[in-house]
Structure 1
Amino acid sequence: MNPPLPPEIRVEPGRQGIRYLLPPRETGPLKFVAVFFIGFGCLFGGFALFWILGVLGVVLPGTPGPANVAFALFGLPFLAAGLGIVGLGFFALCGRCEIEVQAGELLARERGGPFRWTRRIPLKDIRRFTLAADAVRVNDQPVKSGPMSDVGVLSAEVGAGKPRLVVLGYPRAWVEALAARLNADIVELTGAAPLPTTVTQLDPATGRGIASGDRFDPPAKTSITISQMAGGIVAVVPPQGARGTRGLLAFALIWLVFVSLVGTVFAIAPESTKRRRNQSKAIPAVVIGAFGLIGVGMLTAAVNQMRRKASLRASRDELIILQQSLFGTKTFKRSSGQLAAIRVGDSGIVVNNVPLEELQVHGTDGKKHGFFTNLTNDELHWLATHLRHATGVGEAPGESFEPPKLA
Structure 2
Amino acid sequence: MTALAPAPDGTIQLATVKVRHLKLPVTLAIATVLLALLFLFVPRNGISTFRLSDPSSSIGLPNVSFPTAVTCWVLIGLLVLLTLWAFWDSASYRRTGLWLPIVFSLLAVFAFLVWAAAGGLVPVTGLLFGALSLSVPLIFGALGGVIGERVGVVNVAIEGQFLFGAFSAALLASITHNPFVGLVGAMVGGVLVAFVLAAFSIKYLVDQVIVGVVLNVLVTGLTGFLYGALLVPNEADLNRPVRFTRWEIPLLSDIPIIGPVLFNQTFIVYLMYITVALVAWGLYRTRWGLRLRAVGEHPQAADTVGIKVNTSRFWNVSLAGAIAGIGGAYFTLVSVGQFTKEMTAGLGFIALAAVIFGRWDPIRATLAALLFGFATNLQNLLTVLRTPIPSEFMLMLPYLVTIIAVAGFAGQIRGPAAAGKPYIKG
Q: TM-score range by the shorter chain?
A: under 0.3
More strand by share: 1
Please give the TM-score of this superposition, normalised by the length of structure 2.
0.21
Please give the TM-score of this superposition, normalised by the length of structure 1.
0.21
More helix by share: 2
Task: Determine which structure has more spread, i.e. the larger CA radius of gyration.
Answer: 1
